[in-house]
Amino acid sequence: MSDTTDAPRIIVQALAPQWREAAQAWAQRLGLEYAEQREADFALQLGDEGLQLLQLGPDSPGPVRVDFLEGATAHRRQFGGGSGQMIAKAVGVQSGVRPFVLDATAGLGRDAFVLATLGCRMRLIERQPLIAALLEDGLARAAGDPEVGAIVARMPLSQGNAIELMGDWQGEAPQVIYLDPMFPHRDKSALVKKEMRLFRPLVGDDQDAPALLQAALALASHRVVVKRPRKAPIIDGAKPSHSLEGKSSRYDIYALKSLKG
C-alpha cells in the first residue's frame, strides 16, 4: 500500500439528489468525506447505474463500476467457453467436479463470477475498501435478476486482509484458493489498462504476495492457483506443480490433493 503521506484524496458524491442519502451512508461507512464539489484525486459516486469510482482530472481513464448484468462480464457468461476456459481448468472444474473456491484477491469479481457461473461455490475476499464497495454494490444490483441472482448468491464477499482472514478461518476449508495479486506489468488490453491506472494509486503492488501464497497453501485442502502475467516470475516460496499458459496470462498450480467427483 502507498505511504499515508502520499495517500490520494477521495470524496464521495451523489450524481442526483435522490442518491444523496445513500451516498452519505457510504461516506460514513468508508470513513470518507461527502462533498458535492471539492478538489480531490478520486470520487466515489452513486447514481442510477450504481456505485462507480472516478479518477478526477484531465487524464482520467473514466469511471469503473461492477456490472454483472451487461457489458463484458455478461458477454463472457453467455459466450465465454464454459468449462473449457483456462481458469476453469486451472481450478479443477471437470465432469462431476465443481470445487469450493476461495478467491482471496477478488478485485472486481470477474474471475469469481466466471467460476460461479460454472457452478462453483465461492467465497470472496477483497482488502481494498473502495474496490470491495464497488464489488458489493455490483453483487447487490445483480441479486434481483432472475438468472444472474442465482449466480451471485454463490459469491459471498468479505472485506479485509486475506492473509489474516485465512489464518483465522472458521468452518469448511476451501478446496481451492485462487490468487491474482497486483503485479507491476499487467497485459495491455484497454480494459485492464484502465483499471490498473485507476487502482494502482489506491492499492500499490502486492509486496506481501509470498505471505499470501503461504497462507493459502496452509488453508486450501486440494490446490492453490495463482494467476500471473504470462512472462512474470513465480511468487517467491513454494514452487508450482505445473502451469497453464495462455496468450497474456499464466496459471501457476500448486497441487496438494487430487480433485475427484
Which grid coordinates belong to 82? 464454459
Whether 139 is covered by a domain: the verdict is yes
Do 21 and 121 sit in the same domain of this protein? no
Do 77 and 206 sit in the same domain of this protein? yes
pLDDT digits (tens, 9 = 90+) for 184-195: 544 444 445 667
Whether 40 is covered by a domain: the verdict is yes
Strand partners, 251: 227, 244
Pick out the chain residues at pLDDT < 70.
1-5, 72-81, 183-194, 196-197, 204-206, 261
Centroid of chain to Cα 148: 18
Instruction: Check whether 110 is labelled as a binding-site residue.
Output: yes
pLDDT at position 190 is 46
Whether 193 is covered by a domain: the verdict is yes
Domain holding 23, by residue range, is: 4-55
pLDDT at position 70 is 85
Q: Given 55, 79, 94, which residue is the final one in a domain?
A: 55
Query: Could you tell me which residues come within 8 angstroms of residue 258 by beta carbon, excluding any fewer than 6 positions away?
Result: 222
Do 133 and 248 sit in the same domain of this protein? yes
Q: Half-sphere exposure of residue 241, counting CA atoms within 13 Å on the CB side?
A: 12
Do 221 and 127 sit in the same domain of this protein? yes
Do 144 and 249 sit in the same domain of this protein? yes
Strand partners, 226: 179, 252
- CA quadruple 139, 143, 146, 148: dihedral, nearest 10: 20
Do 126 and 41 sit in the same domain of this protein? no
Model confidence, pTM = 0.90
| Sign of the torsion formed by the C-alpha atoms of 223, 229, 230 and 233 | negative
Of 199, 42, 140, the residue nearest 13 (C-alpha)? 42
Which grid coordinates belong to 35? 462533498
How many independent structural domains does the chain possess?
2
| Contact (CB, 8 A) for 142 and 109 | no
Instruction: Check whether 103 is labelled as a binding-site residue.
Output: no
Give the CATH number for residue 96.
Answer: 3.40.50.150
Q: How far apart are CA 126 and CA 108, in angstroms?
A: 9
Whether 60 is covered by a domain: the verdict is no
pLDDT at position 1 is 40
pLDDT at position 45 is 97
Whether 260 is covered by a domain: the verdict is no
Whether 198 is covered by a domain: the verdict is yes
Q: How far apart are CA 184 and CA 36, in angstroms?
A: 34
Q: How far apart are CA 223 and CA 254, in angstroms?
A: 5
Instruction: Check whether 126 is labelled as a binding-site residue.
Output: yes
pLDDT at position 164 is 97
Do 78 and 190 sit in the same domain of this protein? yes
pLDDT at position 2 is 40
Of 243, 224, 129, 222, the residue nearest 172 (C-alpha)? 222
pLDDT at position 105 is 95
Whether 200 is covered by a domain: the verdict is yes
pLDDT at position 12 is 98
Instruction: Check whether 180 is labelled as a binding-site residue.
Output: yes
Do 129 and 38 sit in the same domain of this protein? no
DSSP 8-state secondary structure symbol assigned to residue 59: T
Do 177 and 229 sit in the same domain of this protein? yes
Do 29 and 134 sit in the same domain of this protein? no
Instruction: Check whether 111 is labelled as a binding-site residue.
Output: yes
Do 76 and 43 sit in the same domain of this protein? no
pLDDT digits (tens, 9 = 90+) for 149-166: 999 999 999 999 999 999
